[in-house]
Structure 1
Amino acid sequence: MNIKSQKDFFSGLFYLVAGGAFAFGATNYNVGTGARMGPGYFPLLLGILLAIIGAFVMFKSLTVETQGGDKIGSWAWKPLFFIIAGNLLFGILLGGLPSMGLPAMGLIAAIYGTTLVVSLAADSYKLKEVLILATVLSIGSYAAFVLLLKLQFPVWPTFITG
């Protein structure tokens, strides 16, 4: 069997493995029935759907001819680093690091910090655009999570709110 598109094959493989892992992990919860769904019902179905999509993409990569074999290029290390760093920074800023004496900075600071770091992954960096994006994301997140959903987590730094 010959792989005709490396990008599609490995993308499909990733989807298949991730979907299978989520479906398997969902079996640790009560699945329930269609009429009375348990906490594992939705993740199980989502994992199965993701695995099916992955299998379809893998099948397509083995049957449909692509020009040049659609080879996988080199890793984009800079974007990978900044996106992972931004996600880690969000968790640290939102909840703090009590073991190291770093207080929780809250939702607004976490969104601004994450947006500033993740935007460094792009080829061009315009501070004005990044700050506008961070402001829009902060307002939208505050409205959705705090005002509408009434979720309880720090919005402002603890040294300001007490």
Structure 2
Amino acid sequence: MKIKSQRYFWSGLMFLVVGAAFAAGSIINYSFGTSARPGPGYFPFGLGVLLALMGAVVVFKALTIESEGGQPVGAFAWKPLLIVVGAIVMFGFALPRLGMIITLPLLITMCSFASDEFRWRDALLSSVVLTAGSYAIFIWGLNLVIPIWPTFLGG
């Protein structure tokens, strides 16, 4: 069997594996329930199966539909990956100490550095809009207990 599109094959395989892992994890770790009374594992199982099925369709397409040059997978983008992972680690560490109002703009600005098209104006605008939206959704709308201000300010 020949892979006719490397990009589709590897991305489809990734979706297939992640979907199967989520479906299996939801059955192992949560009660499934029934259709009439679904348990906490019911919805994640369905999403995992759906993701695995979509991955299988993409893998099938990669093995059957000819593409020009086989669409090889390009070089791995290490710099953006490390910047985004570092920003997420920083977010997890800083949120309880600095609060949402400071940590979210830091996260968004750090993640913006991963792009080749970074502009301060766009990063700051995104920070303001996403922080305000997150505040409205998580604090006002859902009443979640998330530190808003830094602990040294009494937040």
Fold in common (TM above 0.5): yes
- Answer yes or no: is 1:116 the counterpart of 2:109: yes
Residue 76 (structure 1) aligns with: 77
Alignment of 1:1-162 (within 5 A): 1-27=1-27, 28-95=29-96, 104-162=97-155
Deviation above 6 Å: which 4+ runs of structure 1? none
The residue type equivalent to 1:83 in the other structure is: V
Distance (whole Å) between structure 1 residues aligned to residue 3 and residue 78 of structure 2: 26
SS in 1 for 2:116: coil
The residue type equivalent to 2:144 in the other structure is: L
RMSD: 1.0
Residue 128 of structure 1: CA displacement? 2.0
The residue type equivalent to 1:93 in the other structure is: A
The residue type equivalent to 2:41 in the other structure is: G
Residue 80 of structure 1: CA displacement? 1.0
Residue 154 of structure 1: CA displacement? 0.4
Distance (whole Å) between structure 1 residues aligned to residue 20 and residue 52 of structure 2: 6
Distance (whole Å) between structure 2 residues aligned to residue 155 and residue 68 of structure 1: 52
The residue type equivalent to 2:76 in the other structure is: W
Higher relative contact order, structure no. (Cα contacts within 8 Å, ≥ 6 residues apart): 2
Residue 53 of structure 1: CA displacement? 0.6
Partner deviation per Cα, 1:11-66 (whole Å, 9 max, x = no partner): 01100110011011101211101111100000111101111111110001000000
Residue 125 of structure 1: CA displacement? 2.2
The residue type equivalent to 2:122 in the other structure is: E
Residue 105 of structure 1: CA displacement? 0.8
Residue 124 of structure 1: CA displacement? 2.6
Residue 75 of structure 1: CA displacement? 0.7
Aligned length: 154
State, as a whole percentage, how many aligned pairs show the same letter: 47
Residue 84 of structure 1: CA displacement? 1.0
Distance (whole Å) between structure 1 residues aligned to residue 12 and residue 118 of structure 2: 32
Distance (whole Å) between structure 2 residues aligned to residue 19 and residue 112 of structure 1: 31
SS in 2 for 1:74: coil
Distance (whole Å) between structure 1 residues aligned to residue 19 and residue 148 of structure 2: 33
The residue type equivalent to 1:26 in the other structure is: S
Distance (whole Å) between structure 2 residues aligned to residue 24 and residue 107 of structure 1: 34
Where do 5+ consecutive residues of structure 2 fail to align? Answer: none
